[in-house]
């Protein structure tokens, strides 16, 4: 947990002020028993009460009490600010680190766990910082001053505290040792609950479609009950802390009065009344400090687990790094992609996903990639923007190895449309400007026209300012794909990558979009991953993948004659008559004027 305290360094000056304020508050607060003792001593003195003295000491007590309130308010405001700053800084650093993760890191830790660590764990550590700045400093200061004052007041009565304080310390240590493993299990249980809840809510339509509500309820109930059981164990263990300390407090308080009056011969003359009252007040402050300290210690084990989970994220070694001296692309190349004998193996796998991949994607040409499920199509395109680093070979963009680019410079060259179209909450305009914040309405209009999205966007009440719900849930699959495609087009990059991004479009819309796309991207390289043969028949170069290897490369007609795997894919989707009919329909659609649906 101490590693996270480095984020408090910019506010160290404010923390020093907090410590000074806490010291002043402790001194002011502990001055009250001393003044009370002086008043009691004056009242019970043989000479009788001195009203002037009592009034003066009473005013002093009032002044100290007022100062304690003012200082406590200033301390609370300062501590709250420091705690808020700490939480904001840690969340920002965790989020920044997570954005730099490779897909393998996401898979290793898990999205649900990352969400819990960024929210619940950070909040837990932030709470400890706020409590610690006050209690961790105030409690020892009060205890130290109070113990010194007790020793100065009456050493015989101080023996009672010498017996009770070690018992409290031993109790806290035992509870601390028992609670630590439970808190670790609790955070893991919270992760499991979050994971199951997220999966069920994300796939709620599938759950309902298959009538699996009862099964999901049982699955959630299982992890929820597991978390509840751990919470009960934690509560049962830590519930002993406050009662035990309260018992020790009551016994100590009782012993001070009992032995104060009868420590020598059982008479009240054995100890002065003011010493007994002052000692009891200091004892109360000592015990209250221990009580507050125990409250802090109760939360420390859980915060320690949370801190370790946060540090696990922050200490994760970033595999995809920028070079020390990033390269720049030569001016004479514009989006030229070249794979040379590329082999790629996932970090958690021993078997290569891709082997000896060699091809070129040239500006002004469409390169299509097709193959059976699991053949490595998406893996190829994920290597171009360096979501992963290759195991062997080279990938060049504009004659520069992608590993020699700064990641930002490389990805600025690429317009990427993922397999699952993802829209962000906000407006259509916000989503369109995601890759290019300075894009104009004219840029957006042209991109939407190319993506065949103009008609349904125009039907929205607020047009470009129409609200987009989280994940684009208020749009159909085809509409989300077209907006995602338009978002990439607005960026006007040198390389366009479409990972099966036309799968939700109907045949006619697909044809119109691809025709408009060819004109719009005529100076850029276009790489398309597709499942439907009809979508790539007119591509300039088609790569046929099988079990991570290129088994065919060329145009449709050539592959249809010479590539057995391609033949199998084609004839599994259509026969020769359907191929001819598909080509005829394409011609008819292109000759017929019409908009998007």
Identify whether 597 is part of a domain.
no
Annotate 244-283 with DSSP letters as a single string. Answer: HHHHHHHHHHHHHHHHHHHSSSSSGGGS-HHHHHHHHHHH
Are 162 and 107 found together in one domain?
yes
Instruction: Write out the residue range of the structural domain in which residue 262 sits.
Output: 11-314
The CATH number covering residue 372 comes to 3.40.50.300
Are 290 and 349 found together in one domain?
no
* Segment 80-106, tens digit of pLDDT: 999 999 999 999 999 988 888 877 777
Identify whether 72 is part of a domain.
yes
CA distances from 354 to 4, 497, 537, 559 (A): 40, 18, 24, 21
* Segment 493-512, tens digit of pLDDT: 999 999 888 877 777 788 88
Q: How many CA atoms lie within 13 A of 375 on its CB side?
A: 20
- 544: β partners: 370, 552
Q: How many domains does the chain have?
A: 2
CB burial string 447-464: b at 16+ within 10 A, e below? bbbbbbbbebbeebeeeb
Maximum distance among all Cα pairs of the chain, rounded to whole angstroms:
124
- For residue 338, what are its two tokens? 């070249």
Identify whether 73 is part of a domain.
yes
The yes-or-no verdict on residue 267 having pLDDT over 60 is no
Are 191 and 267 found together in one domain?
yes
The CATH number covering residue 85 comes to 1.20.1560.10
The yes-or-no verdict on residue 316 having pLDDT over 70 is yes
* Segment 411-463, tens digit of pLDDT: 888 999 988 888 888 898 998 998 888 888 899 999 999 988 888 888 888 88
Burial environment of residue 300 by CB neighbours within 10 A (0 to 12, 13 to 18, 19 or more): buried
The rounded distance, in Å, linking the Cα atoms of 500 and 35 is: 81
Choosing from 259, 280, 314, the residue where a domain stops is 314
- For residue 148, what are its two tokens? 């010194």
The Cβ of residue 289 has, within 10 Å, a number of other Cβ atoms equal to: 20
Choosing from 252, 282, 314, the residue where a domain stops is 314
Q: How many CA atoms lie within 13 A of 517 on its CB side?
A: 30
pLDDT at position 358: 93
What is the enclosing helix (H) or strand (E) of 426? strand 426-427
pLDDT at position 542: 93
Identify whether 322 is part of a domain.
no
């Amino acid at each position: 947990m101490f590693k996270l305290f480095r984020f408090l360094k910019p506010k160290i000056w404010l923390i020093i002020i907090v410590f000074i304020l806490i010291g002043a508050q402790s001194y002011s607060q502990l001055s009250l028993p001393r003044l009370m003792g002086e008043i009691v001593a004056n009242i019970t003195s043989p000479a009788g009460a001195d009203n002037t003295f009592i009034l003066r000491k009473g005013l002093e007590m009032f002044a100290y009490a007022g100062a304690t309130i003012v200082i406590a308010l200033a301390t609370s405001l300062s501590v709250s600010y420091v705690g808020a700053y700490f939480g904001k800084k840690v969340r920002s650093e965790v989020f920044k680190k997570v954005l730099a993760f490779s897909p393998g890191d996401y898979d290793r830790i898990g999205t649900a766990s990352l969400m819990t660590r960024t929210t619940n764990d950070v909040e837990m550590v932030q709470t400890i910082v706020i409590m610690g700045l006050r209690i961790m400093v105030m409690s020892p200061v009060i205890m130290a001053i109070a113990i010194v004052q007790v020793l100065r007041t009456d050493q015989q009565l101080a023996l009672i505290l010498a017996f009770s304080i070690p018992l409290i310390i031993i109790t806290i240590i035992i509870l601390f040792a028992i609670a630590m493993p439970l808190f670790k299990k609790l955070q893991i249980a919270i992760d499991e609950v979050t994971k199951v809840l997220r999966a069920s809510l994300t796939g709620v339509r599938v759950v309902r479609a298959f009538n699996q509500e009862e099964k999901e309820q049982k699955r959630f109930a299982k992890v929820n009950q597991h978390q509840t059981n751990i919470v009960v164990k934690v509560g049962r263990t830590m519930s002993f802390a406050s009662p035990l300390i309260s018992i020790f407090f009551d016994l100590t308080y009782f012993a001070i009065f009992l032995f104060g009056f009868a420590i020598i011969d059982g008479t009240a003359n054995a100890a002065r009344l003011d010493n007994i009252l002052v000692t009891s007040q200091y004892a109360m402050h000592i015990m209250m400090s221990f009580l507050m300290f125990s409250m802090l210690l109760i939360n420390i084990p859980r915060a320690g687990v949370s801190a370790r989970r946060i540090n696990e994220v922050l200490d994760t070694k970033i595999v995809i790094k920028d070079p020390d001296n990033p390269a720049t692309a030569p001016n004479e190349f514009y989006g030229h992609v070249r794979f040379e004998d590329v082999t790629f193996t996932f970090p958690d796998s021993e078997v290569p996903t891709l082997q000896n991949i060699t091809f070129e994607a040239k500006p002004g040409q469409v390169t299509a990639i097709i193959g059976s499920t699991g053949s490595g199509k998406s893996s190829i395109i994920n290597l171009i923007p360096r979501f992963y680093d290759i195991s062997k070979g080279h990938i060049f963009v504009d004659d520069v190895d992608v590993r020699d680019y700064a990641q930002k410079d490389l990805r600025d060259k690429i317009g990427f449309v993922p397999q699952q179209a993802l829209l962000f909450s906000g407006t259509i305009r916000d989503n369109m400007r995601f890759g290019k914040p300075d894009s104009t309405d004219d840029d957006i209009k042209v991109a939407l026209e190319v993506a065949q999205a103009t008609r349904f966007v125009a039907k929205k009440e607020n047009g470009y300012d129409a609200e987009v719900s989280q994940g684009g849930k208020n749009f159909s699959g085809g509409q989300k794909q077209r907006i995602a495609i338009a978002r990439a087009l607005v960026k006007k990059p040198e390389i366009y990558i479409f990972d099966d991004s036309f799968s939700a479009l109907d045949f006619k819309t697909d044809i119109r979009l691809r025709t408009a796309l060819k004109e719009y991207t005529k100076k850029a390289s276009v790489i398309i991953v597709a499942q439907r043969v009809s979508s790539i028949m007119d591509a300039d170069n088609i790569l046929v993948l099988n079990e991570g290897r290129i088994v065919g490369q060329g145009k449709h007609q050539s592959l249809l004659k010479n590539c057995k795997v391609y033949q199998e894919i084609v004839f599994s989707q259509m026969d020769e008559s359907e191929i001819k009919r598909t080509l005829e329909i394409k011609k008819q659609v292109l000759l017929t004027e019409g908009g998007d649906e």
